[in-house]
Amino acid sequence: MSLFNNSQVIGPPLKLSLKTRVTDGNSYRITVAMKLKNGIQQPGFLLALRFLALVFWSFPGARALDNGLAMTPTMGWLHWERFMCNVDCQEEPDSCISEKLFMQMAELMDSDGWKDVGYEYLCIDDCWMAPKRDSKGRLQADPKRFPGGIQGLANYVHSKGLKLGIYADVGNKTCAGFPGSFGYYDIDAKTFADWGVDLLKFDGCHCDSMEHLENGYKHMSLALNRTGRSIVYSCEWPLYMWPFRKPNYTEIRQYCNHWRNFDDVYDSWQSIKNILDWTSSNQKRIVDVAGPGGWNDPDMLVIGNFGLSWDQQVTQMALWAIMAAPLLMSNDLRHISPQAKALLQDKDVIAINQDPLGKQGYRLRKEDNIEVWERPLSDLAWAVAMVNLQEIGGPRFYTISIASLGQGMACIPDCIITQLLPVKRKLGFYQWTSDLKIQINPTGTVLLRLAAN
């Protein structure tokens, strides 16, 4: 191994053995044998550890849906949390679910820098449909609210260099009571492809059995693939399955590009905390399965709305980056503060979310109301987020030993640390043996990037 034989070696070989599990269900043991140089063995040893880390972190998660999509988490806009099922265009023409709303958002995504930083999918949620299918059994958009039809809207969205997402349901009805796709999977997949749709969010309401739920999600995945159109497939399969039995994530990943696990996000700090708690409590089950082509979806970004303080918005952005979550904003791009816009468009944070290694982060520790999360990145870098969950008192100091980060390998033998949030600033050069002292606002987060020197 050329990495280690650049100088004379003496002494017994050191064997490092690492067992890992990859998607085909088999375990592989990698053994690296090396001899340490007398006197200066530490740097060589530490370099070897870094190399092993690279090997270890490069293993993919379970096999992904083979449609070549969502190689990094999907980015875009989704109407639900902010606009819900408002169908009253008479009384509320500016916030009802209509083609006008989506055309305005498309225009802003193009003109206000959203598309440039990666927000690409403009997604319709529930309540776009007419109450009945057409005479050929096809879904149709409400003709008053979408006079140009979904195809017309797709053309407009594509003309802005964006992609269009749509919503349907695996059961007999959507959650809001519009026609469900049960019994119509093939027709609906073809309709969406004919219209030029690029993403399907497939909900799981009104499904009468677990068997129908599972088979329905699989059937729609195959039907979408058969259309020949590239359509990102966003599922809620595990969310609806959890109350009855534990989802098989390896299987879900083979059919879906992302999947919701937990309750709908609300515009509140309690909701963000619940999502983070669920994620850390279940991280053993869900983290390893995420990777290019398939992601856990903790639901929409509610940054730019009403319910989160500035620090809480920082926490959502930082943690959604750590969790390799789809970044689907649900807000009003016509009325958004410059501060929220800058946070959502922060290129350094988006780069962590979109890191090509595609490893989801996890909670490393929780002590004294401080949570430390970390995520391995490409080029052996790490992202670290420290959240202050104490809701009494002011900003708190927290000291962490660098050696405890990144499985002990985030900063070997040293590294450069940059704080990305709440504001960007270079913290400088740190050694493996150093401590790092950080100040964190209540309910806020400090997001760091540790990179090789």
- Which positions lie near ligand GLA, rule CB under 6 A? 80, 125-126, 174-176, 203, 236, 264
Residue 278 burial by CB count (10 A; 0-12/13-18/19+): exposed, middle or buried? middle
Q: Which is closer to ligand GLA, CB of 304 or CB of 358?
A: 304
CB 437 within 8 A of CB 339: no
Which residue among the candidates 203, 311, 332, 346 is catalytic per the annotation? 203
Q: Which is closer to ligand GLA, CB of 75 or CB of 405?
A: 75
Q: How far is the CB of 97 from ligand GLA (least distance, A)?
A: 11
Q: Which is closer to ligand GLA, CB of 182 or CB of 432?
A: 182
Which residues share a beta bridge with 421? Answer: 447
Q: Which is closer to ligand GLA, CB of 126 or CB of 288?
A: 126
Helical spans, DSSP H, in 282-366: 283-286, 310-322, 338-344, 347-353
Tell me the three state secondary structure of residue 419: strand
Measuring CA to CA, which residue among 416, 312, 301, 308 is closest to residue 350? Answer: 301
Q: How far is the CB of 157 from ligand GLA (least distance, A)?
A: 19
Q: Which is closer to ligand GLA, CB of 126 or CB of 267?
A: 126
Q: How far is the CB of 363 from ligand GLA (least distance, A)?
A: 24
Tell me the three state secondary structure of residue 162: coil
Strands of the sheet with 362-367, listed across from one edge: 362-367, 370-376, 382-388, 445-452, 414-421, 425-431
What is each CA distance from 198 to 2, 190, 357, in whole angstroms?
A: 46, 12, 24
Structure tokens at 357: 């290694």
Q: Is 112 a catalytic residue?
A: no
Cα–Cα dist 232/252, whole Å: 14
CB 74 within 8 A of CB 326: yes
What is each CA distance from 111 to 18, 56, 116, 333, in whole angstroms?
A: 50, 42, 9, 11
Q: Which is closer to ligand GLA, CB of 203 or CB of 371?
A: 203
Measuring CA to CA, which residue among 361, 348, 349, 366 is closest to residue 410? Answer: 361
Cα–Cα dist 175/178, whole Å: 8
Which residue among the candidates 110, 186, 264, 277 is catalytic per the annotation? 264
Q: Is 203 a catalytic residue?
A: yes
Q: Give the active site residues.
A: 203, 264
